[in-house]
Amino acid sequence: MSTFEYLTANDFDRAWLNFELDLPLKPSQLGVPNPFYVSRPENPIAELTDGLLAPFFRAPKFFFSGHRGCGKSTELLHLMSNPEIQKKYWPINFSIRDEADIIDLDFRDVLLAIGGRLFRSYHEQGGKLPEQLLKELNSWRGKVEQETKTVLNGRVDYEAGAAISTFFANAGIKMKLEPATRTEMRQVFEKDITGLISVINNISTAIYSQVKRIPLVLIDDMDKPDLEEASAIFHDRREIMMQPNCAIVYTVSSALFYSKDFDAIRDQSIFLPNINLHRRAHQDDRTVEGYETLRKFVQARMDLKLIEPEALDEAITFSGGVFREMARIMRAGIGRARRRKAARVERTDIDWAITEIRNEYRRILDKDDMALLKQIHQNNRLEYDNRFKPLLQLLAVLEYRNGENWCDIHPALRSLVNE
């Protein structure tokens, strides 16, 4: 499917599409908000917006995180469409997984992706960079190609802008798919990392001089690498990652927020919490605003006549306040109702979906995990523990904020830890 229409479903087929798990929402168009977008309680993205709109001496850098599936990609797209942001910035958004191998990610890969995306996006939008800059970039391109023994499809005679754009695209593909080339190019950039940063800065400066807005790069999916890689990029190479003269929002692994390497990003860090569904240590004391937020999330995608009210409440409760988990439970429930040829999703369908999630956890959690999870469920405390971080990444433990931060286990695990 090349395009997607954001239409409220009146049948299970359409509802199945609308609860696609990897469906970050397109930003609003012409001031009309995306109909699937739901404002979160207390508007937590406001902190990032305010930070970008505040005065600064150097283009700001922010490190944006949250649990997997909490809506980071959607919030970045929403931020990108903010009229005040668009007035001050020339924003671009991309996923690092399109530019590099996220299983083997290095700070040099990220810098190349930033420079390449800045150039290609501006070039594809019809922007023209100064001839002198194009000559300098072509000279740099030639040096990199020569040192990495690569050839740009054997063609060196086309227009400079197209040649550089193609180089960035090809270099990204080679670094993503060819481990040998990836190693070779990293070695070349390591010898002249200031040259790579200068390329980014020169492109950024040229764009600013023409559009009179500061380039803003929003990099998604940088939270996918493991803690070791995240630390190598944002802790060990923090100063280098701060060097580009454009504004940047890096998504980073939530595991970094629970490690002692967090000090490297502390001052510019923003964490997107899950939706509160109950008060700390009072799981039966429902938060009305939280339930209403997830009810709107469903209602925007599906006519509520397609689900029993009790089934919807059950789905919300066991989502843990995580948008992706909500979509996952709804999709599984819709699938089961379709197989039953039912008229609407019932409590039994949602219970089946929750049991499937519980079974997945039962396969991967050991006795020590269960003991820790039981303790967390009893005291709701966030504590530094090496066993704690992988449980957060698995969404077995979820963080919340009511002023101070606290945590609880995934609701599907409540019966499991007491077996």
Mean pLDDT for the chain?
Answer: 87
Instruction: Give the E-state strand segments of 22-130 in sequence order.
Output: 61-66, 89-95
What is the pTM assigned to this prediction? 0.86
Cα–Cα nearest to 352, from 341, 340, 343: 340
The confidence score (pLDDT) of residue 155 equals: 42
pLDDT tens across 300-326, in order?
999 999 999 999 999 999 999 999 999
Answer whether 384's CB lies under 8 Å from 258's CB: yes
Cα within 13 Å of Cα(387), Cβ side: 11
pLDDT tens across 360-389, in order?
999 999 999 999 999 999 998 877 667 787
Q: Give the residue, 160 or 38, on which the prediction is more confident.
A: 38
pLDDT at 149 over 70: no
CA gap 326, 290 in Å, rounded: 12
The residue to which tokens 């599409």 are assigned = 17
The confidence score (pLDDT) of residue 154 equals: 41
Provide the angle, in degrees to the nearest 10, between the axes of the packed helices 193-211 and 179-191: 80
Radius of gyration of the CA atoms of the chain, in A: 23
Q: Give the residue, 156 or 405, on which the prediction is more confident.
A: 405
CA gap 300, 172 in Å, rounded: 37
154: left (phi over 0), alpha (psi -120 to 50) or beta: left
Q: Are strands 278-279 and 269-272 parallel, antiparallel or unpaired?
A: unpaired
Answer whether 275's CB lies under 8 Å from 293's CB: yes
160: confidence class by pLDDT, cuts 50, 70, 90: low
pLDDT at 291 over 50: yes
The confidence score (pLDDT) of residue 1 equals: 41
DSSP string, 226-293: -HHHHHHHHTTTHHHHT-SSSEEEEE--HHHHTSGGGGGTGGGEEEEPPPP-EETTEEEEE-HHHHHH
Contacts of 268 (CB under 8 A, 6+ apart): 51, 60, 61, 62, 63
Q: Give the residue, 61 or 68, on which the prediction is more confident.
A: 61
Lowest mean pLDDT among 7-11, 289-293, 377-381: 377-381
> Which residues on neighbouring strands pair with residue 286, listed in sequence order?
278
pLDDT at 8 over 90: yes
In percent, how much of the chain has pLDDT > 90?
Answer: 49
pLDDT at 416 over 60: yes
pLDDT tens across 251-278, in order?
988 778 777 778 878 888 888 888 999 8
Helix (H, G, I), strand (E, B) or coil at 32: strand
pLDDT at 159 over 60: no
The confidence score (pLDDT) of residue 213 equals: 96
Amino acid of residue 264: A
In percent, how much of the chain has pLDDT > 70?
Answer: 94
Lowest mean pLDDT among 126-130, 212-216, 242-246, 281-285: 281-285
The confidence score (pLDDT) of residue 381 equals: 86
Cα of first residue to Cα of last residue in the chain, in angstroms, is 45
The pair of structure tokens assigned to 258 is 């629970």
The confidence score (pLDDT) of residue 158 equals: 42
pLDDT tens across 177-207, in order?
888 888 888 888 888 899 999 999 999 999 9
Spans of all domains in the chain: 83-272, 278-417
Region 73-100: what's the mean pLDDT? 90
The confidence score (pLDDT) of residue 3 equals: 66
Answer whether 108's CB lies under 8 Å from 191's CB: no
Answer whether 275's CB lies under 8 Å from 41's CB: yes
Q: How far is CA 347 from CA 333, 337, 350, 415, in A?
A: 9, 10, 5, 18
pLDDT at 332 over 50: yes
Answer whether 230's CB lies under 8 Å from 253's CB: yes
